Amino acid sequence: MKILHFLDTLNRGGAETLVLDVCRNAEKNKLDIGFAAAGGGAMETDFQNSGVAFFRFQRRLPFDFSLVAQLRRLIKDNKFDIVHAHQPVEAIHALAAGFGMKTKIVLTHHGIVSDRKNLLALKFVVPRVAHNITVGAASKKSYEEEFNIKFPPGNSVIYNGVDENRLKPSGADLRGELNISKDVLLIGMIGNFYAEARKDQLTLCRALPRVFAAIPNAHCIFAGKTVAGAEEKLAECVRFCAENNIADRVHFLGGRADVPDILAALDVFVCSSLKEGLPIAVNEAMLASVPAIVSDIEPLLEASKNGEFAEVFPVRNAEILSGKIIELLKNENRREDLAQRAAIFAKENFSIEAHLANLKKLYESVIKK
């Protein structure tokens, strides 16, 4: 069977990172995969070098007839059995391209519906694709309850997978880059600043004054780009740090491609979120043996097995978050125990091997139907 994974753009994000790991590990897991993109982005070179056939188009309109024609030709010429899309816009173009053909369309729902236009597109494609995948049970529940999505019988939950080989640090010295000493205890959050209510960096900022008062050698980093429209969210965090005289101990790194080196430098990873699918960043931290603290939204409770493999704090509660951070930073044995247990759990559930094994079974069942 031949599978084409299809993304709209190649900007750095969770879905893009997942698909890149899928492409890099396809051959050794005996999957014949190609990859197509309808736009460029920061990860384009990574995909070109991923080891699978790479096809690059350019979507110029919300619904682009030229893209449909090019995609249809690609499917025919390469005899792809399945096109695997990751957003409604891709699924709509794939459905149009595959109309009247035997090629099946599979769609993964990554847990975020950014606006009304995407919601309308989502409701259109869900009953029309051959199979719907959600990245977690909590994510599926949110689609059903929040967005009134009714999934047809052809649906599955498949957890995101992370390639552990990609998490090997290069040896670059983040502490040296930031001009901080080796005895600094480093807290970190990895996630973009979004205009909509998704990540919640401000709550972590609000926790920091108490943390820094209790832990004199602690610093905090934020890694992630600022998406258009989210500039004020970043500015609010920067303002808070300046007004509370902690700006010299808080480092806003912007978008970064060196996540393994960042994780290797962290003593505690924090995921403060309002809304998630099943975030790749948390899976990466667990697999990299970094003790994690996550907000108590359902997808993060699912990722941590209800707090068994990560500390949990109530969403937007900076006071409890600060206490959790202080407790972990003061207790190295507790950090190590949490990190080791989380890494074992993540290898069993969130490795790229587990993800691809589940995908392979799914593809086989879809083709048989």
The answer to whether domain 2-162+351-368 has CATH 3.40.50.2000 is: yes
Residue 22 CA to residue 285 CA, distance in Å, equals: 19
Domain 165-349 has CATH 3.40.50.620: no
* CA dist., res. 75 & res. 95, Å (int): 12
End-to-end CA distance of the chain: 14
Q: Which residues of 17-33 are buried (b: 16+ CB within 10 A; e: fewer)?
A: bbbbbbbbbbeeeebeb
List strands edge to edge, sheet with 131-134.
53-56, 32-37, 2-7, 82-85, 104-109, 131-134, 155-157
**pLDDT beneath 70, residues of the chain:** 114
CA 155 to chain centre: 21
Quick check: 299 and 324 in contact, CB under 8 A?
no
Following CA atoms 43, 45, 51, 53 in sequence, which dihedral angle do they give, to the nearest 10 degrees?
A: 90
Kindly tell me the burial class for residue 65, based on how many C-beta atoms sit within 10 Å of its own C-beta (0-12, 13-18, 19 or more).
exposed
| Rounded Cα–Cα distance for residues 224 and 246 (Å) | 20
**How far is 180 from 217, CA to CA, in rounded Å?**
10
At 147 the pLDDT is 87
How many Cβ atoms sit within 10 Å of the Cβ of residue 333?
7
Question: Which residues, in sequence order, are CB contacts of 47 under 8 Å at separation 6+?
Answer: 10, 20, 23, 35, 37, 54
User: Residue 22 is which amino acid?
Assistant: V
Q: What is the pLDDT of residue 248?
A: 97
Count other C-beta atoms under 10 Å from residue 63's C-beta.
Answer: 12
Q: What is the pLDDT of residue 114?
A: 67
3-state secondary structure string, 49-111?
Answer: CCCCEEEECCCCCCCCHHHHHHHHHHHHHHCCCEEEECCHHHHHHHHHHCCCCCCEEEEEECC
Residue 43: what are its φ and ψ, rounded to 5°?
-100, 10
Phi, psi of 109 (to 5 degrees): -105, 115
pTM equals 0.84
* Tens-place pLDDT, residues 82-98: 999 999 999 999 999 99
Residues of the chain with CATH 3.40.50.2000: 2-162+351-368, 165-349
| pLDDT at residue 202, as a whole number | 98
User: What single-letter amino acid sits at 285?
Assistant: A
Q: What's the pLDDT tens digit per position in 152-173?
A: 988 999 999 999 999 999 999 9
pLDDT of residue 335: 97
What pLDDT does residue 117 have?
85
Which tokens sit at 316? 């937007």
